[in-house]
Amino acid sequence: MSLRFALLALLRVGPLSGYDLQKQFAESVGHVWHAPDSQIYPELRKMEAEGLIAAEEQPRGERATRRVYHVTDAGDDAFTAWMRTPLAYARVRDPAHLRAAYLETTTPAAARDFLHAHVAQWESEIARWEDELTRIDAVENPMLARRLAVTARGDRDRTIAFKRFTYEGLVERARGEVAWARRGLALVDALTGPDGAWAR
Amino acid sequence: MSLRFALLALLRVGPLSGYDLQKQFAESVGHVWHAPDSQIYPELRKMEAEGLIAAEEQPRGERATRRVYHVTDAGDDAFTAWMRTPLAYARVRDPAHLRAAYLETTTPAAARDFLHAHVAQWESEIARWEDELTRIDAVENPMLARRLAVTARGDRDRTIAFKRFTYEGLVERARGEVAWARRGLALVDALTGPDGAWAR
DNA sequence: AGAGGCATGTAATATGTTACATGATTGT
DNA sequence: ACAATCATGTAACATATTACATGCCTCT
């Protein structure tokens, strides 16, 4: 359900072809809401059918065409309406915490592997998001630059402020995950005997 | 994919009917991995077809029967194998952070509503999980009590320790969400003019 | 002529959500 | 007799994942 609003958010900045959209997606909203190309193209068609966006076909070379999408008034309304609607929170469904709850059923080695992987996973996400943060500060992100170009002076600070707010939140959450997993590693150590098996 | 392992984790403690399982689920693993009844019953049938669990039909009154499931050796193997397998991390897909990234496109009032709802959402989760934590300490949780009853003395501490570890992690993460949203509220205040609209 | 990127998808499968449906049994 | 709760699902739909498929255009 959120995918279409992520797409609308990008298209509201200016028209884009499906391909461009998909590329930009990966390096902006994609950090927050991942979607593969194979989901984006069909969703664009559906949104077109529902009148939220419209395509302009542009010739590309002799035979090929590309479809450049723009947001319709209906699409704009749908987006702003969504922004005013309470979010539907999904129930918790978290594989890492599910596994954590049963770590005593496996070996200390497997428990450590899991926790190390958790640290690595979130550290790599932190790296991506911090990278985004520095690019936000430098206004290097292509999508953000386009956005700021069409944005009135007074709005720029807000746009940047909420981007920073968003990514800082993600980074902090990820740091929490890392800290949690490290505490888990300490716990495994504390529960392990000198022979490497669980202490008795 | 994780649902079946959540179910196996519960059934490994001892046989349960689909109904009992579903009830216990809601107040143990369900805090970590939510699933509605309508997903549990079919999954049990699938797991039975795959030989991970087996059902024993018990008469209930004159006409009715209940199917009591237990874990087979194959199911036990599947569970321990899963515990040793690296977790597949899903890509980030987070509606709240998606919306946060575009808060400048709505009114300050709508932004505040969203952030207040975020605080409320996570505070209610915190309450549930902290409740679980006190019940873990009191060994009041029926599922945990059953589990400890079939668990050798030395394993009890570990079982409890990892449960605590899991729920503490959830609570901390949720606290992070609350703190983040509160910072967002302060940010909205800072960006709002005396007329209640965005400052220019 | 060939590589790399532009451009757009389909198909099959898995997973999850929502709403609906039905009837038996037990305790009051 | 009736309510609560035990007990087990089906159907329809929405969403997401993975793998595969196809062909043009531009630059070297």
The pLDDT tens digits of the residues spanning A24-59 come to 998 899 999 999 999 999 999 999 999 999 999 888
Average pLDDT rounded to a whole number, residues A62-87: 92
Report residue B63's pLDDT band, with 50, 70 and 90 as the boundaries: confident
Tokens 């200390």, located at residue: A108
Cα–Cα distance, B61 to B63 (Å, whole number): 6
Chain centroid to Cα B92, Å, comes to 18
pLDDT of residue A200: 77
Q: Closest nucleotide (CA of B17 to C1')?
A: D7
Report residue B69's pLDDT band, with 50, 70 and 90 as the boundaries: very high
Cβ neighbours for A185, distance < 8 A, ≥ 6 positions apart: A112, A115, A116
CB B45 within 8 A of CB B29: no
B84 contacts in A (CB within 8 Å)?
Answer: 106-107, 110, 113
Whether residue B197 has pLDDT greater than 90: yes
Ramachandran sector of residue A193 (left: φ over 0; alpha: ψ -120 to 50; beta: rest): beta
Chain centroid to Cα A32, Å, comes to 2
Cα–Cα distance, A112 to A103 (Å, whole number): 9
What are the pLDDT digits (tens) for B2-32?
899 999 999 999 999 999 999 999 889 999 9
Q: Residue A50 carries which DSSP code?
A: T
pLDDT of residue A129: 94
pLDDT of residue A4: 93
Whether residue B82 has pLDDT greater than 80: yes
What are the pLDDT digits (tens) for B97-147?
999 999 999 999 999 999 999 999 999 999 999 999 999 988 777 777 777
Alpha-helical (H) ranges within chain B are: 2-13, 18-26, 37-49, 73-84, 95-100, 108-137, 142-149, 153-191
CB atoms within 10 A of CB A165: 19
Question: Phi and psi at residue B198, in whole multiples of 5°?
Answer: -60, 140
Positions of chain D reached by protein Cβ under 7 A: 6-11, 14-20, 23-26
pLDDT of residue B177: 98
Q: Closest nucleotide (CA of A1 to C1')?
A: D15
Looking at the complex, report in whole angstroms how far the Cα of residue A64 sits from the nearest Cα belonging to chain B. 33
A119 contacts in B (CB within 8 Å)?
Answer: none
Q: Which two tokens stand for residue B107?
A: 């009114």
pLDDT of residue A145: 76
Cα–Cα distance, B104 to A109 (Å, whole number): 48
Which residue type does B21 have?
L
Whether residue A144 has pLDDT greater than 80: no
Nearest CA to A53 out of A82, A1, A84, A18 is that of A18
Cα–Cα distance, A52 to A46 (Å, whole number): 9
Q: Which two tokens stand for residue B98?
A: 């998606």
B172 contacts in A (CB within 8 Å)?
Answer: 176, 180
Q: In this complex, which residue's CA is closest to the C1' atom of nucleotide D16? A: A39
Whether residue A85 has pLDDT greater than 90: yes
Alpha-helical (H) ranges within chain A are: 2-13, 18-26, 37-49, 73-84, 95-100, 108-137, 142-149, 153-191
pLDDT of residue B148: 75
